[in-house]
Amino acid sequence: MRCPLCEKEFDPAESKAMPFCSDRCKTIDLGRWLDEGYSMPQDADPDSDAANDWPFSLS
């Protein structure tokens, strides 16, 4: 199997950090999510006003 972060080949049976090859790669990936380095794709809705999508008022 290949690690999705560093692309190193590893044996999945020997990894405690699946699907990553190591805790280091797992932690780096988590950091990228938390720093918003990754995002989920979202279709733009031209009829939606983004300010009205909030469930609460900011003022």
Helix, coil or strand: residue 2: strand
User: What is the percent of the chain where pLDDT is above 90?
Assistant: 59
Predicted confidence at residue 38, as pLDDT, reads: 84
Map out the domains of the chain as residue ranges. Answer: 1-36
Assign 10 a pLDDT band (cuts: 50, 70, 90): very high
Average pLDDT value for residue range 27-39: 92
Assign 36 a pLDDT band (cuts: 50, 70, 90): confident
Q: How far is CA 13 from the centre of its chain?
A: 24
Residue appearing with tokens 């939606």: 48
pTM of the complete model? 0.64
